[in-house]
A and B are shown apart, each in its own frame.
Chain A
């Protein structure tokens, strides 16, 4: 008796719910935003509270070029997705590669800035509160850029192997949603660290 399922009416086919991948990524973005919020709050709270130098005003230089790189990579990843949807794989691959190059340039910019701060100004994560909050916030963002670049590269490898077609377009869109998020976070980090923080 217990092995028989109670019969229920079966479902019609006309029943459309949102694509799970996109909803999942949206949830991840909410969770990640909460993490970044805490780091941003800590940064804002500690502006000007360092007991010793160097201060942001003395050592930080606004990374205009690398910011343009990162923000324009949002455009390239968006249009790459559009091209994939329409089935033009070559255009997709070119724009996708361009996205990776722009993201890579941004990471290089962060590395260069850190190198300058450490070797020229002697600012490390343990120097003062500015160092602690700066390296953690910018580092957390750079970590997310690195994670994004890794995933973009995996898609590129599959794309070069000819395995990414229009049928994967929805999945590719999920990844580009993450990449847009990484860019949007940079807008906040940039405003907090390079504009408000000085």
Chain B
């Protein structure tokens, strides 16, 4: 054994008592580097053995306190939370569809960048058609025409709003 080895193996009784108090009587729970010198001290010191008896008594007292097992009700609550959070995720993930533009058109015609100018043109034509037909109705039926125009515009606005809600999810309303 070298001098360095002998130094590493040394442990004062105060150090031993401190470790025993901190880590208890199970040497496997002590820091690895302290185990061998602790065994050496235990073999030759009555004081060390008394310190170990003290630590063991405390370990045994602590062992009286078992933790409770989770109830099925708690398990269910936790798993319900997980399902709720998982259910929120796809809605949030779909939000970028609107940010890329024409989300509802993309859902109808497919999300193909090459077709986007065409889709935009189609949307303009459709909007023009709706406006043209409702204005025509207004001209043809002069009495109470305001109602028919307003109703048409409101329906159109709701259609857009519904679409936006679907794409953005509840968080978009905040």
Are A and B a genuine interacting pair, yes or no? Answer: no
Which B residues lie at the A interface, using CB under 8 A?
Answer: none
Which A residues lie at the B interface, using CB under 8 A?
Answer: none
